[in-house]
Homo-oligomer: A and B are copies of this chain.
Amino acid sequence: MKWNLSSDQMPQAWFNVAPHLIEPLQPPLHPGTREPVGPDDLAPLFPTALIAQEMSAEPWIDIPGEVIDVLRLWRPTPLVRARRLEQALDTPARIYYKDESVSPAGSHKPNTAVPQAYYNKAEGIGRLATETGAGQWGSALSFASALFGLECKVYMVRISYEQKPYRRVMMETWGGNVEPSPVDEPGHPGSLGSAISDAVRDVVARDDSHYSLGSVLNHVLLHQTVIGLEAKEQLALAGEERPDIVIASCGGGSNLGGITGPFVPDADVDLVAVEPSSCPTLTEGRFEYDFGDTAGLTPLLQMYTLGHDFVPSTIHAGGLRYHGDSPIISNLVKTGRMRAVAYPQGKVFEAAVQFARTQGSIPAPETSHAIRATIDEALRAKEEGVERVILFCYSGHGMLDLGAYDSYIHGNMVE
């Protein structure tokens, strides 16, 4: 069972979670002076519109018409009730998922790639550079750049570049230019942190280019709130007053921030972040100021971090291999508004295959973290004998991750 909204029912404004936080966000610090950064410090990297959004305290921010026109290529996305999974689990829980896999790039990432490309284009920028882990973000930015006529350079974490050649081809199909990172250490598997360093170095050396980040920052989470806003409307169509639990996977925090953001003011909704045991930023990291990248070129952010030189093991959920976390997500966890759980990848793929064999769709490894937690919550509801409404973010499909399924199915997966 699916609930669709029509094209003209897309949200017209993004929801800003900042005014709803229990404690205010602390500003980023300049990597040299360790003083709070101002808009001028960020101008070499981002257009002024995005810098303003990054620091905004406005509760709602209008979505430009040109952005809506592109998002409508696939939005609003469906809300789906996972009845067959419920039946297989024999649970009284009602499980809904917001299907972000229907975008051209196959994930939620275009929700922010499109406005980022738009605002850069509007301010006269001709070229964007970025990093990508699993390739979801680089694909999304290549796609958005193609639609706005921008050049796009992508530094791809080397282990993903090697494990996922089709992700590179996808970016190239949209005209993107892809290079493995770290660029100066050919044998290194790479990390998001070091790929960010490569991209930042690229743009500060050129006048025509800006940097673009696919997660972590406030404006990125802002753009992703279309997920949660649509889901709220669709749950009402499905006859649900509100979800009891909202679940999403967490790497940098963008799909999580997007689906949970609009529910932050609803104090009785339980918000859950799911991360890999091998990169347990929220469950085992420290809450402190740290660099966003390995080389220490970015401002310092107040967040949960494993240390900016942390190199996680090469699990298949490449998009969740980040040493830090979104300041907004970190703030929510620190203040107790959100909780975090971690799973090893074997348990995650077990959930992924169960989902595929009941609901049909094959999820991305990142998404499968949310599915694992959803299944466990549904089983808890069964144990406790309570009806519970669970909403999770189906952040992306696994069509480019079938190598990981191959390992799992044939017993070759490392925990």
Chain A residues close to B by CB (< 8 Å): 1-4, 6-7, 72-74, 80, 84, 102-106, 110, 143, 146-147, 165-166, 169-170, 172-175, 353, 356-362, 397, 399-400, 402-403, 405-406, 409
Question: Among the listed B73, B147, B356, which residue makes an inter-chain contact with A174, where contact means beta carbons less than 8 Å apart?
Answer: B356
A282 to B388, CA, bound (A): 56
A82 to chain B, nearest CB (A): 10
**Residue in chain B with minimal CB distance to A358:** B147
A106: B residues at CB distance < 8 A: 399
For residue A170, which residues in chain B have a CB less than 8 angstroms away from its CB? 362, 402, 405
Q: Find out whether the CB atom of B73 lies under 8 angstroms from the CB atom of A173.
A: no
Q: A173 and B6: CB pair below 8 A?
A: no
Q: Which B residues are in CB contact (< 8 Å) with A169?
A: 402-403, 405-406, 409
> Which residue of B has the minimal Cβ distance to A146?
B357
Task: State the Cβ distance, A192 to closest chain B Cβ, in Å.
Answer: 23
CA distance A170 to B104 in the complex (A): 20
**Contact A405–B362 (Cβ < 8 Å):** no
Q: Are B173 and A405 in contact (CB under 8 A)?
A: yes
Contacts of A358 in B (CB 8 A): 147
Tell me the number of copies of this protein: 2
Q: Which of A175, A353, A406 has the most CB of B within 10 A?
A: A406
Knowing A1-B7, A2-B7, A357-B174, the reply to whether A102 touches B102 (Cβ < 8 A) is: yes
Query: Is A360 within 8 A of B409, CB to CB?
Result: no
Chain B residues whose C-beta falls within 8 Å of the C-beta of A2 in the assembled complex = 6-7, 72-74
The answer to whether A147 touches B360, judged by C-beta atoms less than 8 angstroms apart, is yes
CA distance A231 to B3 in the complex (A): 19
CA distance A2 to B102 in the complex (A): 13
A103's closest neighbor in chain B, by CB? B360
* Cβ-defined contact, B356 with A173, below 8 A: yes
Q: Which residues of chain B are near A360, meaning CB under 8 Å? A: 73-74, 103-105, 110, 143, 146-147
A172 and B1 contact, CB distance less than 8 A = no
Complex formed: what's the CA distance from A3 to B9 in Å?
Answer: 12
Q: Please name all residues of chain B whose beta carbon is closer than 8 Å to the beta carbon of A357 when the two chains form the complex.
A: 146-147, 173-175
> What residues of B have a CB within 8 angstroms of the CB of A409 in the complex?
169, 172-173
Name the B residues within 8 Å of A110 (CB-CB): 360
Chain B residues with Cβ below 8 Å from A166 are 399, 402-403, 406
A83, chain B: closest CB distance, angstroms: 9
List 10 A-B pairs, minimum CB-CB distance, nearest first.
A104-B360, A399-B399, A166-B402, A4-B4, A169-B402, A169-B406, A104-B361, A146-B357, A173-B405, A169-B405
The complex places the Cα of A175 from the Cα of B3 at a distance, in Å, of 29
* Given A1-B72, A170-B402, 18 further pairs, Cβ under 8 A: A2-B6, A2-B74, A4-B4, A73-B80, A73-B360, A146-B356, A146-B360, A147-B357, A147-B358, A166-B403, A169-B403, A169-B405, A172-B405, A172-B409, A173-B356, A173-B405, A397-B399, A399-B400
